[in-house]
Structure 1
């Protein structure tokens, strides 16, 4: 099963001038950067309109069936952040459990983890 990077495309940051200025939300800018960084990898990306992590915008979720799932936030919409998110997601993808040793984390994702969820049970 592939690892998915889900990006909240409506995430805002305190410095965003708002729609009145015609500026794209920071989440949409981060989503485009993550999509570009993930091209050519086995990772899947998607955009959603809200991850309900407004206090932590810009937010992404990294998920795969049968693995630990993570929400990361407080990113600036930069190429460096997007590349680090994709690099960490690739490590998640390569892990049997979704757990990635801290020493392997790219520096730009450290301090950005908001939640970790256990995988859903396989049986009802």
Structure 2
């Protein structure tokens, strides 16, 4: 049986201030914010996926988790940008080990919150499933 070819193309990230949230994440990851596209403010990733920041209506933002596979040589500059921005990063998704980096699967990783409480993850090696 041949499985269909399916790829993630874009995802919407709800935010209380789409511009601030897009600039924050793009700045940490070393990316650029694109031109507005309808109600969205895009940040393009290297694999063709677009993060579309959307100004949610008033009310609480439901925090989500977003994980980014990054090159090992880009990891330290991202940590440096988190520190320069005064953002605490953690070795674990529960945020109990501040200012530490994990070594899962032989790589390095860290978690941090964006301005709306989304749990962001940067990692240099993808998760290895059995």
What TM-score, normalized by structure 2, do the two folds share?
0.27
Higher RCO (CA-CA < 8 Å; seq separation 6+): 1
Q: Judging by fraction of residues, say which structure has more strand.
A: 2
Q: Judging by fraction of residues, say which structure has more helix.
A: 1
What TM-score, normalized by structure 1, do the two folds share?
0.28
